Structure 1
Amino acid sequence: MKVVFQGAESKILLNEHNQIVKTRFSKKYKHPTIDQRHRARRTKGEAKILQILNERGISAPIMISYNDDTIVMEFLDFPQLTSILNENKNEESKNALISLAQVISQLHDLQIVHNDLTPSNVLFDGQKAIIIDFGLAQRGKTSVEDLAVDLYVLERSLNAMGKGEFFEYFISAYQNDLVKKRLKEVEKRGRKRELE
């Protein structure tokens, strides 16, 4: 298997069947029982979200199988939104962010918060945005604040790339007006913190 990416909690591999294998690895500083339980809970939560999205035809990788610490899913060979933005493909970036807004609107309607909504967690196939890495996602009992913060993370990451102007395309296509209103409050708090 070929290593595609390694993060703080998991390793992403490409297997011989051209599938992504995401394995959460053990943390040596944690008690083994607590660590195993934590990895199983996080893996099951991510798998359940992928299953819901797959069943509803929402743009995300198709999950093939999972166990206590591993999820196997389809490999999607499309560029990350980060690359598209960095290559100054403005029309493609605009289309990707409009599509992303439609997908995020669907997620939020299902009370799913991604919690790591950055351009590196979005692929674009030329027609539609595909969200990846639901490792920090949560579902159920989400508040309007949670949904607004999800959007704020995207806005901040675009600003950090020097591509903040593209957020306007996203927000104009995002469909929940209550969340948009709350986003303005979140932005104000963020600006206030920056000034302190």
Structure 2
Amino acid sequence: MDQPRRPGRPQIADPDRIALEAVHLFAERGYDAVTMDDVAAASDISRRTLFRYFEHKQDLVWRDFRSRFIEAGAPDYSGVADGIDGIRESAAGGPPMDAEEERLLRTRMQIIGANPDVFGAGAEAMEVLRKAMAEHFRKTLGALEAEVASSAAVSCMVVAAVWWANQDEVSLADATDAALVRLRDGLG
């Protein structure tokens, strides 16, 4: 027979598992229809434990990106070509995704693209990426130009990922590369 939890002892929880459970719920019911209480119940944790790891519902969607860009550190663009071609090279060289990873990323990007509040919650992760790109661009550009180029490149990559999430015929790598090539070649 299970013993009831003692009051005051924190539950052990896996934030990655909780975020994954939340994404499954968002895909099944829709982002707006799912509450933090729903996520806690589906994750078999208390509401209090959930809020220990995730202050806002949007944070559940961005968990994977936060892990990749904030907790793991900024991307390293050393050893790639200068300028936007180096960013393209780095983006193309990412690890391959299996079918489940791709499905989850599509779902996350669909949610991000459809909800301005969720999109805005990713600013911290995007800023880490942008700063790393700005450093890369400073090798060949002035300070202002590097800031502008890095902001434009991050925007291109995010918009390409949101667009890709709603397509079936194109890979994320191809969508990202097409957007960055267009940026490189000018939009005129």
**TM-score between the two structures when normalised by the length of structure 1:** 0.29
Q: Which has the higher strand share?
A: 1
**TM-score between the two structures when normalised by the length of structure 2:** 0.29
- Rg: which structure is higher? 2
Q: Which has the higher helix share?
A: 2
